[in-house]
């Protein structure tokens, strides 16, 4: 906790920060009113300009102020308040040459992005939540946080006055500033939690949108997987089985007239059957590795590490078997991360850690590659993030230029 002077000093500084942030918009309002008074009642701009200044200033400052408040609350108290802003979708160019931004068609990508940004800003409920908070915080947390600075100002003014009454007021101001400093800034947290956190209805609506997108992604992934299996069967095992049938038909014809040729054809057919069986096993392994079904995620990852061209170390502390869909998603997620490390990062070593705490299954995959990995909207990492999100999981990527790259997948135990 620290000594009282240290707490008072830290609290006084935080109270001043809260006052400065919360009073930005009222300062704009006061400036607009002062401008109107300065112009005089006879000037038509004395009514129009303050209104425009108040509107544009409040709208422009609301989101930055709310972001600062979320940062301060998280930094000072550890309470994380999700922003909840709606994310912009991709802007796509169509075959007609027009650009589709999710709302309208535009002639250029610049127009499409500007229109999307404007529509998204005005249709986002978080925008109106920010405006409401910007109007409330000065008269709640802002007023309470202003007590220590006001007491300090009174102390400075009063103690330097010759009269006894003013000096008494100065002493009282100093006592008020010191006594309230450790606590005055704390009013920011409950006000921010109450007015910046998304309402249950908005959270439910966002969850419905997220689940809808996840369902669409799952449908697309399933269709792509079915097409891959069909293609592999058609180009591989099916073609070999057709050739095997033709070879056996030829054997039937030449068995009595040319036994040596028949034996050669039978040897080819046996080799073709073995090759077809190997291809089918590989195909089934790509769908769901047998070791994953039989022995679980940890042993499957260890087998994957042995087959990887990277020098891979695996450490695991997993005390339970996961549901098969979750095991499959995590296994193929690890496989994709290792593939990216070889293909894109040119890594030579990797480390995989599988752990379980009270709330989550945590998997870390780290490589010594060149780094610079990013999550693009149409990239493999974004697809992996969406697949993990089906189980309320998250994927975090840390990949500075020059490496190393670290990926963390987390799945809540409640999903198991």
pLDDT digits 0-9 by tens, 249-299? 777 777 777 777 777 777 777 777 777 666 666 655 555 667 777 778 888
102 and 15 co-located in one domain = no
Final residue of a structural domain among 287, 303, 320: 287
Cα–Cα distance, 73 to 145 (Å, whole number): 14
Query: For the domain that residue 388 is a member of, what is the CATH number?
Result: 3.30.565.10
Cα-Cα-Cα-Cα dihedral sign, residues 76, 82, 85, 87: positive
Tally of domains within the chain: 4
pLDDT digits 0-9 by tens, 12-33? 888 889 989 998 888 888 887 7
115 and 128 co-located in one domain = no
Cα–Cα distance, 314 to 301 (Å, whole number): 8
Residue 371, helix vs strand vs coil: coil
Final residue of a structural domain among 180, 196, 212: 196
Give pLDDT < 70 ranges for the chain: 1-2, 4, 41-46, 199-241, 244, 276-289, 319, 375-380, 414-416
Average pLDDT, the chain: 78
220 and 321 co-located in one domain = no
80 and 91 co-located in one domain = no
58 and 180 co-located in one domain = yes
Range of the domain at 188: 4-85+124-196
Percentage, residues of the chain above pLDDT 70? 78
The model's pTM is 0.53
301 and 281 co-located in one domain = no
Are residues 415 and 325 in contact, defined by beta-carbon separation less than 8 angstroms?
no
93 and 81 co-located in one domain = no
pLDDT score, position 403? 77
Backbone angles phi, psi at 117, to 5 degrees: -60, -45
- The CA–CA distances, whole Å, from 37 to 27, 44, 48, 241, 331 equal 15, 12, 12, 92, 69
Final residue of a structural domain among 67, 99, 123: 123
Helices within 23-108 (DSSP H only): 24-39, 45-77
pLDDT score, position 282? 60
Cα-Cα-Cα-Cα dihedral sign, residues 354, 357, 359, 364: negative
Extended beta strands in 96-195, E state: 99-100, 105-106
């Amino acid at each position: 906790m620290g000594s009282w002077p240290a707490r008072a000093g830290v609290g006084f500084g935080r109270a001043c920060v809260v006052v400065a942030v919360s009073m930005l918009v009222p300062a704009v309002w006061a400036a607009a009113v002062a401008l109107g008074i300065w112009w005089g009642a006879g000037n038509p701009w004395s009514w129009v300009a303050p209104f425009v200044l108040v509107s544009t200033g409040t709208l422009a400052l609301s989101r930055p102020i709310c972001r600062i408040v979320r940062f301060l609350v998280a930094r000072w108290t550890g309470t994380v308040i999700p922003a909840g802003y709606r994310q912009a979708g991709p802007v796509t160019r169509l075959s007609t040459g027009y650009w589709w931004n999710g709302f309208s068609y535009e002639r250029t990508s610049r127009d499409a992005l500007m229109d999307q940004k404007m529509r998204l800003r005005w249709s986002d409920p978080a925008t109106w939540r920010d405006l409401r908070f910007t109007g409330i915080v000065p008269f709640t947390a802002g007023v309470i946080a202003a007590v220590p600075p006001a007491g300090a100002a009174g102390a400075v003014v009063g103690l330097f006055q010759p009269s006894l009454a003013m000096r008494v007021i100065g002493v009282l101001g100093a006592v008020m500033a010191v006594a309230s400093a450790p606590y005055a800034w704390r009013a920011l947290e409950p006000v921010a939690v109450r007015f910046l956190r998304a309402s249950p209805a908005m959270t439910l609506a966002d969850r419905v949108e997220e689940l809808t997108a996840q369902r669409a992604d799952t449908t697309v992934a399933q269709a792509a997987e079915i097409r891959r299996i069909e293609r592999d069967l058609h180009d591989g095992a099916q073609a070999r089985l057709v050739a095997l049938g033709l070879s056996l038909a030829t054997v039937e014809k030449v068995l009595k007239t040319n036994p040596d040729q028949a034996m050669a054809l039978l040897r080819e057919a046996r080799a073709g059957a073995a090759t077809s069986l190997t291809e089918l096993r590989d195909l089934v392994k790509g769908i769901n590795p047998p070791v994953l079904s039989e022995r679980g995620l940890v042993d499957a990852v260890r087998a994957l590490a042995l087959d990887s061209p990277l020098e891979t170390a695996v450490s695991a502390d997993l005390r339970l078997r996961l549901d098969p869909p979750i095991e499959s998603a995590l296994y193929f997620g690890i496989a994709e991360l290792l593939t990216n490390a070889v293909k894109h990062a040119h890594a030579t070593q990797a480390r995989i850690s599988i752990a379980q705490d009270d709330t989550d299954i945590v998997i870390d995959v780290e490589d010594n590659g060149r780094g610079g990995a990013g999550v693009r909207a149409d990239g493999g990492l974004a697809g992996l993030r969406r697949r993990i999100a089906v189980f309320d999981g998250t994927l975090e990527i840390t990949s500075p230029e020059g490496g190393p790259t670290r990926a963390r997948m987390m799945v809540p135990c409640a999903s198991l």
